[in-house]
Amino acid sequence: MGVNSKVKAVFLDRDGVINKAVIVNGLPYPPGSLKELEILPGVKQGLKQLKELGYLLIVVTNQPDIARKITPIKTVEMMNNYLKEQLNLDDIYCCIHDGTDNCTCRKPKPGMVYSAAEEWDIDLVNSFIIGDRWKDIETGINSGLRTILIDYNYNEKHISADYTCSNFSEAAQIIKSLTHK
């Protein structure tokens, strides 16, 4: 495909961005089951707006609890499939490794973004990542995406994003204001 035929995308973290994270000691964790999975307010409408602007919606999520034997892969797949169906997501890329596995897909490494860009013919320069943690923002920086941080003031390292907001609706509005159809 030629340069002009490339598509644009919004890459999304999962836990804390499209669904509620479980907060323990100021740090976010994924829900442990489909029953605990709760889509955050404003996400459905915000994703619908981004879709109408012509963006692919692609989730890139670290799920190390699989490698840590805390959450079975089937449970994570059920949650991902539910979110994909409920939110009209185009794809979900999931790193199932732990930090010590030294894989190329675990954020902040850009492996999942690069895989999606190749598979979907995505123009990274005209695409975004929305995340709630430094690893998401660093992934965006490492892969040439414009970065949006939904800042929940977690008790962890902070790095500067291109844009900062307090919820998904605001993140969608930032992208809408920057998009030229």
CA distance 44 to 24: 26
Residue burial 37-59, b: 16+ Cβ < 10 Å; e: rest? bebbeebeebbebbbebebbbbb
Catalytic residue among 15, 65, 132, 136: 15
Among residues 116, 132, 144, 107, which one has the least CA distance to residue 56?
116
Residue burial 106-129, b: 16+ Cβ < 10 Å; e: rest? bbbbbbbbbbbbeeeebebebbbb
Note whether 92 and 58 are within 8 A (CB).
yes
CA distance 143 to 151: 21
Catalytic residue among 13, 65, 132, 136: 13
CA distance 137 to 19: 18
- Told to judge if 132 belongs to the known catalytic residues of this protein, a careful annotator would answer no
CA distance 47 to 161: 20
Question: Catalytic residues, which ones?
Answer: 13, 15
